[in-house]
Amino acid sequence: MNRVRSARLLRNIASPIAFLVIWQLWGAAQPQRGGYPVPERVLLAAQELIRTGDLPIAFLVSIQRVAAGFLLACLIAVPLGLLMGYFRLVERNLDPLVQTFRSVAPIALVPLAIIWFGTGNISAIFIVAYGAVWPLLINTIHGVKGVDIKLVRAAQTMGLSRGQILRTVILPGALPSMFVGVRLAMGVAWGAIVAAELAVGAKSGSSGGLGQMMFLFYAYSVEMNNIVVCMITVGLVAFVIDRSLRALQALLMPWATR
């Protein structure tokens, strides 16, 4: 049993280890070694950034903005998605707008956000919410439409009203698809915050978040290793969030987990 588990672990971490090795070799082969980040120097930089508290603080600022923007997106997308999925008239009216706006990348909203909300928290949250709202909305609609019509009919023959059916059949029936939306939206939100913070988020007390930190390392101190530390932090956090969401889904929806 234990051997099976360690064999599986080995298989799962083989490609990350191979990546690190190739990266280290590639860096060592470069003529001007200073300009190229390699794993060992990045690790040292990470230690330093954690020791000074810069990285944890920036991380906390960014994740709070993501959480706020994501929550805002949920509050808009879930009710709207339920309505658009359930009532054809609503969907027909709003679908052209949704399809038009969802292709506009969150980063394109940065100039507007700065003009409307300045360069603080609100701008960052706005951009995150804008990015996260579309995958949530589209997957909620998709989920509602995918609910088996027979289940709705079964509830009708039990005498349930439309409102009760929405709550007891449509909502749980759409939940697995909505969760796909949540995972996609989390990815978009986390990507959008870094992009947003490159431009906004400086005026929030001690830190402007991970994106702002990257921008400072780029524009002022030219610390390539520090930038890579930020990149890795973003990636790792996204990975952990996604795995947690998957675990949460297995816990909440045992019927929808194969």
Partner 1 sequence: MQGAGESPIIRVENVQKIFYVARTRQTVQAVESADLQIYRGEFLSIVGPSGCGKSTLLNMIAGLEQPTAGRITMEGKPVLGPSADRGMCFQEYALFPWKTVWENVAFGLRYGPKGAGCSKQALNDTVRCFIDLVSLTGSESKYPHELSGGMRQRCALARLFAYDPTVLLMDEPLAAVDAQTRIVLQEELLRIWGQEALPANQRKTVVYVTHAIEEAVFLSDRVAIMSSQPAHTREVVVIDLPRPRTAAVRGEPRFRALTDQIWGLIRDEAYRATLR
Query: Which residues are at the interface with partner 1 (CB under 8 A)?
Result: 148, 150-151, 153-160, 164, 168-169, 172-173, 175, 253-256
Which pair of structure tokens corresponds to residue 95? 């679908």
Would you say 88 or 203 has its CB closer to partner 1? 88
Between the CA atoms of 240, 245, 246 and 251, what dihedral angle is there, to the nearest 10 degrees? 130
Q: Quote the least distance from Cβ 83 to partner 1, whole Å.
A: 21
User: What span, in angstroms and rounded, lies between the C-alpha atoms of 252 and 88?
Assistant: 29
Would you say 83 or 160 has its CB closer to partner 1? 160
Q: Quote the least distance from Cβ 178 to partner 1, whole Å.
A: 13
Q: Quote the least distance from Cβ 167 to partner 1, whole Å.
A: 8
Q: Quote the least distance from Cβ 92 to partner 1, whole Å.
A: 14
Residue 198 · residue 212 · CB < 8 Å: yes
Residues 6+ apart with CB under 8 A from 190: 66, 234, 237, 238, 241
Q: Quote the least distance from Cβ 224 to partner 1, whole Å.
A: 50
Would you say 125 or 169 has its CB closer to partner 1? 169
Would you say 87 or 116 has its CB closer to partner 1? 87
Residues 6+ apart with CB under 8 A from 1: none
Would you say 169 or 188 has its CB closer to partner 1? 169
For every residue of 45-107, DSSP letters joined together read: HHHHHHHHTHHHHHHHHHHHHHHHHHHHHHHHHHHHHHHHHH-HHHHHHHHHHHHHHTTS-GG
